[in-house]
């Protein structure tokens, strides 16, 4: 039994109700179907299901599961895509989205400023005979030069990690579509709350649900959103046979996360703006990078594209690594870790952790200096966070 269709509804309403499927017991909360498989009434039914699987029919949990299907339907409705496929992690989603699209001899253009594991996946594509060109994602001329007729896909993070560059999604999508390329966007930093990716031309939107969708740093998960044809005929065959399936338990965690995501992410973004404003001009800092501040190089674009500066801030400390480490070690409320989108505020020193594997030159090129700290703003009081950061930066 599926709840009555909620579309078109306000995103907050859809995030609570959309896609709910109830068993014969009529349970209120979404049920967790912890089962590997499903029983068929007859041999004929089993045969028919392997030929064509209907929306309320399942075969094996690696292929699909009722709890996971609720999560997929709900996030697809929020993102504005026809369908979605949930995965074991954000990286299973990035890997699935790109590998399912590409074949040896294909050409992919990617922005250079990417999460380290995303760079690993692109290097892997190159190993298997896909040509990958890297560009500065904020420079449209570089996209224009790198794209060519027959380019299979473009890939970028709409807001880059950790330096918070904002990519002009509509402009890049127009150039990519003119070349016939599929636009694949890693939209983690923008969050599903502030996303207008599909409206701006993205064909495939990928999330690490581990971040804002969970919102509590509890479980790994990912999701790929796109057209029904792409999801069911391209991404799903790749994922269901290579084993990137999400656990039904994690889908249930993510369903619960979605219900509160809008409230959480908006509160986190409000605090991020308050913190960025309060610490701008602090004597220990040579810069505060936050797309919601008017001095951010893509401030207008960020506002047009997301309507918010988001939940992440980067601080540039005078005094390099020593100053950055001293500040980290003085933080009391803000935890040193590397997740983001959590209810708890988290600070990261990218140069020595998430981006440690890059060469010094590559880090310098990406603006990942020894004094750079990345803050994921949580749900604590903004005043408490500002006080903790001020004392850590040496008032
Ligand atoms: C975390 C993250 C990923 C990977 O997600 P996992 O759930 O950790 O596998 C991919 N892209 C971005 C931008 C991320 O922040």
Dihedrals φ, ψ of 53, to 5°? -100, 115
pLDDT the model gives residue 150: 87
Banded pLDDT at 7 (limits 50, 70, 90):
low
Rounded to an integer, what distance in angstroms lies between the CA atom of residue 28 and that of residue 301?
42
Domain 11-257 has CATH 3.40.640.10: yes
Q: Rg of the chain's alpha carbons, rounded to an integer?
A: 21
Q: How far is the CA of 191 from the centre of ligand 1 (A)?
A: 12
Task: Choose one of 88, 137, 210, 310 to mutate for the ligand 1 pocket test, by most ligand atoms within 8 angstroms of C-beta.
Answer: 210
8-13 contact pairs (CB < 8 A, 24+):
11/78, 11/193, 11/262, 12/262, 12/263
Give dist(CA 126, CA 265) in Å, integer.
36
Q: Whose CA is nearest to atom 7 of ligand 1?
A: 90
Query: 271: CA distance to ligand 1 center in Å?
Result: 23
Q: What is the pLDDT of residues 98-130, one digit of tens each?
A: 999 999 999 999 999 998 899 999 999 999 999
CA distance 187 to 211: 11
Q: Does the beta carbon of 342 sit less than 6 angstroms from any atom of ligand 1?
A: no
Q: Give the mean pLDDT of 326-339.
A: 97
- What residue spans define the domains of the chain? 11-257, 263-393
Cβ 181 under 6 angstroms from ligand 1? no
pLDDT of residue 60: 96
What is the separation, in whole angstroms, between the first and last Cα of the chain? 58
Enter the CATH code of domain 263-393: 3.90.1150.10
How many Å apart are CA 373 and CA 4, to the nearest integer? 46
What atom in ligand 1 is closest to the CA of residue 221?
Answer: 7
Measured from the CB, is residue 220 less than 6 Å from ligand 1? yes
Place of tokens 């006080």: 387
Share of the chain above pLDDT 90, in %: 94
Please report which confidence band the pLDDT of residue 1 belongs to, taking 50, 70 and 90 as the band edges.
low
CA atoms within 13 A on the CB side of 240: 16
Question: Residues 240-262: pLDDT tens digits?
Answer: 999 999 999 999 999 999 999 99
The pLDDT of residue 230: 98
DSSP H or E run through 348: strand 346-348
286: which residues sit within 8 A by CB, 6+ positions away? 316, 317, 318, 371
Distance CA 35, CA 247 (A): 10
Q: Which residues pair with 166 in a beta bridge?
A: 159
Q: Record the tokens describing residue 308, joined without a space.
A: 């918010």
Q: Give pTM, 2 decimals.
A: 0.96
* Residue 161 in contact with ligand 1 by CB distance below 6 A: yes
How does pLDDT run across 311-322, given as a tens digit for each residue? Answer: 999 999 999 999
């Amino acid at each position: 039994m599926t709840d009555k269709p909620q579309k078109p509804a306000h995103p907050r309403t859809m995030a609570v109700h959309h896609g709910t499927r109830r068993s014969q017991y009529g349970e209120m909360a979404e049920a967790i179907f912890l089962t590997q498989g499903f029983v068929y009434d007859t041999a004929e039914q089993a045969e028919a299901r392997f030929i064509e699987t209907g929306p309320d029919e399942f075969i094996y949990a690696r292929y699909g599961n009722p709890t996971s299907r609720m999560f997929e339907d709900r996030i697809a409705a929020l993102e504005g895509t026809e369908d979605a496929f949930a995965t074991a992690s954000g990286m299973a989603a990035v890997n699935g989205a790109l590998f399912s699209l590409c074949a040896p001899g294909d050409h992919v253009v990617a922005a250079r400023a990417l999460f380290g594991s995303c760079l690993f996946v692109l290097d892997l594509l190159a190993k298997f005979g896909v040509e990958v060109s890297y560009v500065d994602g904020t420079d449209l001329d570089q996209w224009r030069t790198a794209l060519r007729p027959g380019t299979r896909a473009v890939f970028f993070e709409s807001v880059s990690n950790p330096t918070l560059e904002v990519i002009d999604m509509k402009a890049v999508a127009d150039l990519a579509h003119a070349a016939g390329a599929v636009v694949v966007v890693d939209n983690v930093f923008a969050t599903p709350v502030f996303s207008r990716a599909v409206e701006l031309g993205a064909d495939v939107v990928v999330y690490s649900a581990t971040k804002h969708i969970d919102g509590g740093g509890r479980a790994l998960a990912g999701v790929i959103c796109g057209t029904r044809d792409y999801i069911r005929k391209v991404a799903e065959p790749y994922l269901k046979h290579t084993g990137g399936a999400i656990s039904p338990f994690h889908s249930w965690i993510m369903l619960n996360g979605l219900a509160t995501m809008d409230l959480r992410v908006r509160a986190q973004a409000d605090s991020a703006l308050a913190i960025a404003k309060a610490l701008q001009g602090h004597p220990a800092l040579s810069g505060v990078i936050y797309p919601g501040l008017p001095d951010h190089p893509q401030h207008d674009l960020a506002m047009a594209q997301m309507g918010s500066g988001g939940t992440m801030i980067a601080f540039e400390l005078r005094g390099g690594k020593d100053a950055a480490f001293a500040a980290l070690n003085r933080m009391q409320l803000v935890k040193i870790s590397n997740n983001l989108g959590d209810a708890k505020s988290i600070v990261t020193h990218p140069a020595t952790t998430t981006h440690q594997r890059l060469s010094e030159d590559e880090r310098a090129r990406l603006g990942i200096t020894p004094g750079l700290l990345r803050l994921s703003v949580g749900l604590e009081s903004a005043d408490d966070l500002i006080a903790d950061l001020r004392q850590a930066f040496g008032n």
